[in-house]
Structure 1
Amino acid sequence: MTMHRTVLDLHVGRAASDGAGVRMTRVFAGQGIERFDPFLMLDQFDTANADDYIGGFPAHPHRGFETVTYMLEGRLRHEDHLGNQGLLKPGGMQWMTAARGIIHSEMPEQQEGLMRGFQLWLNLPGKSKMSPASYRDYEPKELPRVVTAEGVEVVVLAGRFSDGVIEQTGAVQRPDTDPQLYDLILPSGSHISPRVPDGHRVLLYVYEGEVMLEGTQSTPVSANHLVRLSNEGTLTITSTENARVLLIAGAPLNEPIVQYGPFVMNTQAEIEQAIGDYQRGQFGG
């Protein structure tokens, strides 16, 4: 008998503001974050009102984790204290490993039009939190895409996608957390059964349309809802209308998480060191 992954809980994001007043939806973060291990935060920005994003994210620090920014519409300019510069374009992705420290800014390269995308925070294991920082922009053409027999388009941002017929390696591979990040574009009435390793935490964020999950008593999941699934079993997603879904999966680290704003470490002493290093100008590098 086939065992399906079951729904553990359903989340609706809350309105939030970050940076210099950028308005967004905070899908998850903060209290109870261990439930999403190895993921720390997911933000969605989706507005055509320039006043909601024009202030951008002026220079600010990070330590102890990775950020993944996936842009659907709009343009963001990245600059950091290590000398990196890049332009995140529609359909592109930015992968930044803050590790021992990076100070960066993300500023809109537009004064009007739609700004739409996501930022995901991915934890690093304790052994890697003080490794050198790094940064990479991915052009849209560098993100692998496949189309299944059902007509489902899959953008393979990270990991390795397989549905038993098609296999495609993603743009990024990471050790320890083994993230599997896919943007699934489902025509109405189509379905897809991505194979995700048992033991991986699996999150589905429906950001357009509506889907059903096999084995969950046919409970519909509509736009702007996040589903947290059990760590074992198969997964089949069926669209009841045209839908887009972010599949976010990774291997839990099962380590202590101590967070103070943009610093995520394993102990309070490490947080205090991060604050002191930043204040003394000894951050990253």
Structure 2
Amino acid sequence: MTLRTLKQTIPALATSDGAGVKIKRSLGQRQSIRMDPFLMLDEFGSDQAQDYIAGFPSHPHRGFETVTYMIEGHMLHEDHLGNRGNLRNGGVQWMTAGRGIVHSEMPQQESGLMRGFQLWLNLPAAEKMKPAGYQDIQPEDIPVLSQAGAMIKLIAGEMTVNGAGVTGAINGGTTQPLYADVHLEAGAQVALPVPEQLNAMLYLYEGTASLLTGDDQTALQPSAASVLNQGDEVMLSAGDQGARLLLIAGKPIGEPIVQYGPFVMNTREEIEQTLRDYQTGQLTA
């Protein structure tokens, strides 16, 4: 086994999106800051309603997928296909924009904590114009791996820990996404297999944790994308307060990316066509 080491740390920057929702953005804060096949990672979390209540009114997408993972609060999804889902604590919304989707994501509470993540996953050129789709994954449908001092919620991909193999709520696809929410008790250590061919990163969002590499350890920065070097195993150790972090990995696409706001294609000409399609109502036709 080859342990993955830290390659780059991308601190999340405070910004806003939608109708003024306050977020912290690591991947995607600039278009040059990505980790193929992932385009963007946003963390949102506040107990002040004014930070999130305006939500994300109706808006379009084309050419990629969005994965919204809710830790606290409720978010209502509606789209032009007629899908309607109430994303609740621990649930996941996996939406494939494909050739085009228009949707809204609106908080369903006026007070209390709203907390979660949204990840943008690119699609290869051959799949950018496939039909749009939507999956509403309930928290009870997300498999959990447990070992001494550790709990791993496997949102996507496959993983084997201590001889126990589990398939996530989402599996397969060209980019072979791996998405896990890892909870560690104080002082716990865990070794997580990550296939060599996948690009991988960690995102520490609670507590303290270190990346172990043989006799060395590297403290992970909170609220930052910790991009990893190649290898086939990630070894983690939690601090005195325990830790919660995301493990995100995927097979790189290696194609040109041209992004214009909510549209992600391969060429400028395709973006121009997308804008024409949106303006004429053909984006979702």
- Cα distance in 2, alignment partners of residues 234 and 75 from structure 1: 34
CA contact (8 A) 1:209 1:222 kept: no
Secondary structure of 1:219's partner? strand
Q: Deviations over 1:37-78 (max 9, x none)?
A: 000000000100000001000000000000000000000111
Deviations 1:132-171 (A, max 9, x none): 00001111111111211x2311100000121242211100
Partner residue, 2:159? 161
Q: TM-score if structure 2 supplies the norm length?
A: 0.96
User: How far apart, CA to CA, are the structure 1 residues paired with 2:211 and 2:16?
Assistant: 32
Equivalent in the alignment of 1:187: 185
Deviation (angstroms), 1:175: 1.3
Check whether the contact 1:164–1:195 (CA below 8 A) recurs between aligned residues.
no
Q: Partner amino acid for 2:260?
A: Y
Question: 1:33-182 alignment to 2 at 5 Å?
Answer: 33-34=33-34, 36-148=35-147, 150-182=148-180
Matched, 1:25 2:24: yes
Contact kept? 2:70, 2:89, Cα under 8 Å: yes
Query: Does the 8 Å contact 1:209/1:244 carry over to 2?
Result: yes
Task: Return 5+ residue gaps in structure 2 as ranges.
Answer: none
Identical counterparts, % of pairs: 49
CA deviation string 1:69-109 (max 9, x = no partner)? 00000001111111111100111000000000000000011
In 2, Cα distance between equivalents of 1:31 and 1:100: 21
Letter in 2 for 1:48: D
1:267 and 1:164 map into 2 onto residues whose CA distance is: 45
Amino acid in the other structure paired with 1:203: M
Shift of 1:192: 1.1
Match of 1:207 in 2: 205
Structure number with higher strand proportion: 2
- CA deviation profile, 1:214-272 (whole Å, cap 9, x unmatched): 11832211421221001224221111131001000000000111100000011111111
Task: Give the aligned residue type for 1:229.
Answer: L
Tell me which stretches of 4 or more aligned residues in structure 1 moved more than 6 Å: none
Per-residue deviation at 1:174?
Answer: 3.2
Paired residue secondary structure (2:277)? helix
1:95 & 1:169 partners in 2: Cα distance? Answer: 16
Work out the CA distance in 2 between the residues paired with 1:110 and 1:196. Answer: 37
Which stretch of structure 1 is more off in the superposition, 70-79 or 25-34?
A: 25-34
In structure 1, the partner of 2:274 is 274
Distance across 1 between alignment mates of 2:12 and 2:248: 16
Q: Do the aligned partners of residues 157 and 12 (structure 1) sit closer, same or farther apart at CA in structure 2, a change above 3 Å counting?
A: same
**TM-score normalized with structure 1 length:** 0.96
